[in-house]
């Protein structure tokens, strides 16, 4: 089994596994993912969107796991500002009432992941300079 080689790698791996898991759950049961994000019953277009979002989550999870396996640090760094941007956009959707309040959980997940990876990168850099 291939384990992450850095603190930042662990944060990316955790996000990758979660994204794969939620992607598979959403492909099997789009209603489960929609309900968890605070959306109501799915109609045809909503079901299609939830399924497509789940496929994107599955793909993103695989990308994150490949980045972990290769210890692709530029990718780790790249994710931090873009996950914070995702947090900002998703929070904006909740604040403007374009998305239900429960959707803020998705935004918070992105922010926590970005901060965790940023801290992991910082910790790894400090550890390298002191060794």
Q: Tens digits of per-residue pLDDT, 24-58? A: 999 999 988 888 777 777 787 778 888 998 999 99
Summarize the chain as % helix, strand, coil (round to 5): 80, 0, 20
Q: How would residue 131 be classed by pLDDT, with cut points 50, 70 and 90?
A: low
Query: Which pTM was predicted?
Result: 0.86
Q: Give the integer Cα–Cα distance in Å for 66 and 16.
A: 9
Residue 71 is given by DSSP the state T
pLDDT confidence of residue 43: 80
Inform me whether the pLDDT recorded for 130 exceeds 70.
no
CA-based radius of gyration for the chain: 16
Mean predicted lDDT score pLDDT of the chain: 92
26 φ/ψ angles, rounded to the nearest 5 degrees: -65, -30
């Amino acid at each position: 089994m291939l384990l992450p080689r850095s603190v930042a790698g662990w944060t990316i791996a955790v996000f990758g596994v979660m994204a794969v898991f939620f992607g598979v759950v959403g492909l099997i049961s789009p209603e489960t993912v929609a309900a968890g994000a605070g959306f109501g019953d799915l109609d045809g277009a909503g079901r299609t969107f939830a399924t497509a979002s789940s496929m994107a989550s599955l793909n993103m999870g695989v990308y994150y796991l490949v980045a972990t396996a290769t210890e692709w640090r530029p990718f780790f760094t790249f994710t931090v500002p873009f996950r914070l941007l995702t947090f900002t956009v998703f929070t904006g959707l909740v604040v403007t009432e374009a998305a239900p309040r429960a959707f803020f959980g998705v935004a918070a997940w992105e922010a926590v992941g970005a901060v965790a990876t940023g801290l992991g990168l910082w910790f790894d850099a400090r550890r390298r300079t002191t060794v």
